[in-house]
Amino acid sequence: MNDQGEPVLYAIVTGSPIAGDVGTLVDLAQADGWDVCVVASPYGRRFIDVDALEAKTGHPVRSEYKDPGTPDVLPEADAIAVAPLTCNSLAKWAAGISDTLPLGLVVEGVGKRLPIVAVPASNRAQISFPAIQSGMRNLAEWGVTILGEDVYPQPEPGTGGHRHLFPWPLIWRAVLEHPWR
């Protein structure tokens, strides 16, 4: 909870053009009384309008770990949505690699048993890779809600994706309905 007693959502985006639409998730959560903090991977940051998101949320968009001994500028998360989640970030997360702030937050989030919803966004060939499939199964076993092909069908390689089909309202509903909430 933030200082005003509102629950806090961390909206984590990774390096996909879909990240540019994360403001839709921010709007949905804020409409339900949630405080939202956007955290972007270094590549995810390339696809978002940082200034607009900071104005909308009232929080800085974080992408890097803070310096040792400095206070955190974001309130603690009550839930996390990782959308879009690239295969690179998914594989690292499932392996426990915390080499970026977003990965550190989601690895820690699993350990804290926070409600976490993730939506992989890549292409059918990459999602089909055995290590990625295994990573999704492992994350699901560890309590992460993975919204898969039935919710967001992965495009064929080289087709440019289905950004317009990304299920922001379903992601928000899955956060609210997460079994740990």
pLDDT at 148: 87
- pLDDT tens by residue, 123-136: 899 999 999 999 99
Per-residue pLDDT, averaged over 133-145, amounts to 96
Confidence of residue 153 (pLDDT cuts 50, 70, 90): confident
Residue 163 has pLDDT above 90, yes or no: no
Least confident of 8-17, 102-111, 148-157: 148-157
pLDDT at 132: 95
- Distance from C-alpha of 155 to C-alpha of 9, rounded to nearest angstrom: 28
- Distance from C-alpha of 171 to C-alpha of 177, rounded to nearest angstrom: 10
Domains detected in the chain: 8-176 (3.40.50.1950)
Nearest 10 degrees: CA dihedral of 150, 86, 35, 177? 30
- Distance from C-alpha of 46 to C-alpha of 158, rounded to nearest angstrom: 20
| Rg of the chain, C-alpha, whole Å | 15
| pLDDT, averaged across the chain | 93
pLDDT at 181: 59
Residue percentage of the chain with pLDDT more than 90: 80
Confidence of residue 149 (pLDDT cuts 50, 70, 90): confident
Structure tokens at 47: 């696809």
